[in-house]
Structure 1
Amino acid sequence: MNNRLADRLATVMFWAGALLVLLILGFLLGYILIHGLKDISWHFLTSPPQNMLAGGGIGPQIFNSFYLLLLAMLITVPVGLLAGIYLAEYASQSRVTESIRLCIETLSSLPSIVVGLFGLLIFVNMTGWGYTLMSGALALAVINLPLMVRVSEEAIRSVPPELREASLALGAARWQTMWRVIIPSAFPGLLTGGIIAAGRVFGEAAALLYTSGMSSPPLNFADFNPFSHLSPLNPFRPAETLAVHIWKINSESLIPDVRRVADGSAAVLVLVVLIFNLSARWLGRVIHRRMTAA
């Protein structure tokens, strides 16, 4: 076999692998959307599940999913970014650094159900919070921190060293170089890591079963007091996310139209993740252009 034939065979294999992935993804998306779009309506998207027997919807679950996403990312992104900066720029090869990397790799291999049980013991029981959004956000932060740390470290390491040297040669301090030169240059990679972490927040259910709970109190969306038990902004209240809601109604089957609600909820979850990813990438490109003056 000559080199030209080997190159063509390799190209065909690469294209076949890419097309296979696209076909599988297209089949899954098509199946979910075809079965679920017909059940989506404004009433379904805004009404609470308490009226499910009368054709209720998933309004509180959608809000809980976004609110949990906000809380989890407020914890994950700063901690993961700072840890990635330390490992990429400041840490030297030592036993401490190797221990940190070993801990990160160990955390990344933990099943989400194990993290959920850990969250039940620490964030739910030992803190006395009970099943709350904050407990779920901390559990999701434990799941996403290894990913965010590794992505941040690799994105920062990928910045050409000439940029660092030029900034330092012009008299900038090391932290100024990091903030004004390295992070803007590494922003696309950091954004990708943030989007992947956010997608895991939307789709996670196992860890949230033991931390944020499988039910939500009746919410008063006119109450903006974060200390009120019925306020949607209260982070210390039980909350059922959309992914947990899908699992719950399919496992319990206590409602007559479980198939309709499950199909519609799954379609909404897929659309929300898709719209969020596209919006985040568009916003990331805009911010990157402004930060780099490109």
Structure 2
Amino acid sequence: MNAKVIDKIWTFILYLLSAFVVFILVLLLSIIIVKGFGFLDPKFLFGAPKHGEAGGGIGPQLFNSFYLLVLSLAITIPLGLGAGIYLSEYAKEGMFLNIIRLSIETMASLPSIVVGLFGLLVFVNLAKWGFTLFGGALALTILNLPSLTRVCENAIGDVSKKFSEASLGLGATKWQTIKNVLIPASMPQILTGIILAAGRIFGEAAALLYTAGMTTPTLKLGASLGSKANPFNIFRPAETLSIHIWKLNSEASLPDAAAIANKSAAVLIFMVLIFNILARILGKRIHERYTGSK
């Protein structure tokens, strides 16, 4: 058997495997969306749950998920970008850098349930915050910080050294070079990493069970900021959409719990798909902007 025949056989096998993966993904999405048909109904998306009655919505849970997403990214992005800049541009090869990278790899492999238990011990019990949005945001930061740090480090490191050398040769300082040359040039990859992290935050449940809690107070816009009824109070318990799905499937406290869980799962999948599509589109647009390509 000659090399061309072997090449065609393996090419066919790889195409077959790729088609199988796509088929499984499409089948999974189709089942979830079909079972959750009607999930884009405004009454369902923005309505409040009805305790013990059918026909409730997921408005508070959806708001909690987006609010937690914003809080977590507000903490994760500066830390991840700063750590990536340090590792790529300032850290020197040696034992200390190896220890940092080993720590990042170890943190990246932590199961989310372990991070949740850590958050329960530190943020809930030791800090005595109780179940809070802020504790959940910190737990999600621990989960996403290693991956975002690696994305930022690799993105900045992949920028051609000629760019930084040209900037330094024109009299710019190292920080000016990083801020005005390296970060803009690596922004497509960084943005992709951020949006993928956002998708993980939106769908996370295990770490939030022990930090953000499984209940949401009745929210009122006119309540004082320190009140747990204020939607923007970061020290209030918050049941996110993913936890709501788990709770419905485990407790089944509503007559139509299965239907609401299916619709909620469809909303969750839909949002994660949007995050991934946005990552590709925005990353491509920014790359075209900075490179001048189309």
Q: TM-score when scaled to structure 2?
A: 0.94
Q: Which amino acid aligns with 1:152?
A: C
* Cα deviation, residue 226, structure 1: 3.4
Determine the C-alpha separation between the residues in 1 that align with 2:173 and 2:190.
22
Q: Is the 8 A contact 1:226 1:235 kept in 2?
A: no
Question: Does structure 1 residue 42 correspond to structure 2 residue 42?
Answer: yes
Q: Is the partner of 1:53 in helix, strand or coil?
A: coil
2-structure distance, mates of 1:10, 1:191: 35
Within the alignment, does 1:92 sit opposite 2:92 as a pair? yes
Unaligned runs of 5+ in 1: none
Post-superposition CA distance 1:272-291 (Å, at most 9, x none): 22223334544444555556
Q: CA deviation at 1:193?
A: 1.1
Q: What is residue 250 of structure 2 aligned with on the other side?
A: 251
> Is contact 1:216–1:240 with CA below 8 Å preserved after alignment?
yes
Identify the residue that residue 79 of structure 1 maps to in structure 2. Answer: 79
CA displacement 1:128-153 (0-9 Å, x = unmatched): 11100000000000011110111111
Partner of 1:175: 175
Moved more, 228-237 or 128-137: 228-237
Q: Which residue of 1 aligns with 2:159?
A: 159
Equivalent position of 1:118 in the other structure? 118
Corresponding residue for residue 265 of structure 2: 266
* Residue aligned with 1:38, SS: coil
Name 2:186's counterpart in structure 1.
Answer: 186
The residue type equivalent to 1:207 in the other structure is A
State how far apart, in whole Å, the 2-side matches of 1:154 and 1:16 are: 32
- How far has the Cα of 1:32 moved from its partner? 0.3
Structure 1 residues 115 and 259: CA distance shift in structure 2, 3 A = same
Q: Is the 8 A contact 2:242 2:268 kept in 1?
A: yes
Q: Which residue of 1 aligns with 2:3?
A: 3
How many Å apart are 1:13 and its aligned residue? 2.6
Q: The residue matched to 1:49 in structure 2 has which SS?
A: coil
- Deviations along 1:64-100, whole A, 9 cap, x unmatched? 0000000111111110111111111111112211111
Is the CA contact 2:39–2:45 (under 8 Å) kept in the aligned structure 1?
A: no
Alpha-carbon distance in 2 for matches of 1:281, 1:3 = 36
Aligned partners of 1:49 and 1:5: how far apart in 2? 61
TM-score of the pair, normalised by structure 1? 0.94
Letter of the 2:262 counterpart: D
SS of the equivalent of 1:37 reads coil
Question: Superposition RMSD on alpha carbons, in Å?
Answer: 1.8
Residue 239 of structure 2 corresponds to residue 240 of structure 1: yes
Aligned-residue offset at 1:116: 0.3
Contact 2:192 2:279 in 1 (8 A): no
Deviation string, structure 1 residues 206-234 (Cα, Å, up to 9, x no partner): 000000000000011x3375333211111
Matched, 1:30 2:30: yes
Cα offset for 1:55?
0.9
Q: CA deviation at 1:271?
A: 1.1
What number of residue pairs does the alignment pair up? 293
* Residue 209 of structure 1: aligned partner: 209
Distance 1:231 1:243 in 2: 22
Deviation at 1:53, TM superposition (A): 0.8
Q: Deviations over 1:114-173 (max 9, x none)?
A: 000000011111111110000000000001111011111111111111111111111111
Q: What is the match of residue 229 of structure 1? A: 228
Instruction: Please tell me whether the aligned partners of residues 224 and 233 of structure 1 are also in contact (alpha carbons under 8 angstroms).
Output: no
Is the CA contact 2:52–2:253 (under 8 Å) kept in the aligned structure 1? no
Partners of 1:59 and 1:263 in 2: how far apart?
15
1:118–1:22 distance in 2 versus 1, CA, 3 Å: same
> Letter of the aligned partner of 1:23 in structure 2?
F
For 2:184 and 2:75, how far apart are their aligned partners in 1?
Answer: 21
Residue correspondence of structure 1 range 3-22 to structure 2 within 5 A: 3-22=3-22
Instruction: Indicate the residue corresponding to 1:278 in structure 2.
Output: 277
Structure 1, 280-289 or 134-143: larger mean CA deviation: 280-289
Output one character per residue of 1:232-279: Cα deviation in whole Å (capped at 9) or x when no partner. Answer: 111110000000000011011121111101111001111122223334
Q: Which residue identity does 1:86 align to in structure 2? A: Y
